[in-house]
Amino acid sequence: MGSDSKELLGIEPLELRFPFEFMKQISCSMELTNRTDDYLAFKVKTTSPKKYCVRPNSGIVPPRSTSSVVVTMQALKQAPPDMQCKDKFLVQSAVVTEGTAVKDITGEMFKKESGNVVDEVRLKVVYVQPPRPPSPVREGSEEGSSPRPSWSDGANINYQDVRSLTLCCFFHFVFCSELLEV
């Protein structure tokens, strides 16, 4: 959010960051903060309405409170050139009277020409690399210590290792057998 005191709604973040993954629907959220003593109506618009689902896409934020909005990007079948995204969002807000219901929100409320107190904030969409999965760490090992030996390493395995592996296989077999009986 900028430091401009004329903004009706504080919006965090100002850049919607989606970890890009093929064929996967991804969501991110934004917080709309009303720092005024007025009731504010908001409406969220996008340049790509078929690509994103915004919930709620409009609403009322009471004075001195915050509302969450979830933006979900539909699964993409191909990567955009250079991983650049030209999509944008526009969050419009307008002062409304107490008691205004969400169903009463109209496009007319967000027109300055009508004499309304209106604010607009533009948000960029950025694709980022998805988080890397944690590296596999053997159970019981600690960071900075040597990993425990395994049969594939050709190392000697002690009785405790064999017992742990046997119990693990036994419980896996029992669990899977119970699932098959259902």
Question: Is 0.85 surpassed by the pTM of this model?
Answer: no
Residue 138 placed within a domain: no
35 plus 116 within the same structural domain: yes
Residue 139 placed within a domain: no
CATH code (residue 58): 2.60.40.10
94 plus 50 within the same structural domain: yes
Nearest in space to 59 (alpha carbons), one of 11, 90, 16, 105: 105
The ranges of the chain with pLDDT < 50 are 1-5, 149-182
Residue 62 placed within a domain: yes
101 plus 161 within the same structural domain: no
Separation CA 178–CA 172 (nearest Å): 10
Residue 94 placed within a domain: yes
117 plus 167 within the same structural domain: no
124 plus 161 within the same structural domain: no
Residue 174 placed within a domain: yes
Q: Residue 6's pLDDT is what? A: 67
97 plus 164 within the same structural domain: no
Give 140-166 pLDDT, tens digit per residue.
555 555 555 444 444 444 444 444 444
Residue 147 placed within a domain: no
User: Where in the sequence is the domain holding 68, given as residue range(s)?
Assistant: 9-128
Residue 55 placed within a domain: yes
For the chain, give the DSSP string.
--S-TT-SEEEE-SEEEEE--BT--EEEEEEEEE-SSSEEEEEEEES-TTTEEEESSEEEE-TT-EEEEEEEEPPBSSPPGGG----EEEEEEEEE-TT--GGG--GGGG-GGGT--EEEEEEEEEEEPPPPPPPP--TT--TTSPPPP-GGGT----HHHHHHHHHHHHHHHHHHHHHHH-
* Number of domains the chain contains: 2
Nearest in space to 75 (alpha carbons), one of 55, 54, 51: 51
Separation CA 53–CA 67 (nearest Å): 17
93 plus 174 within the same structural domain: no
32 plus 115 within the same structural domain: yes
Q: Residue 151's pLDDT is what? A: 44
115 plus 169 within the same structural domain: no
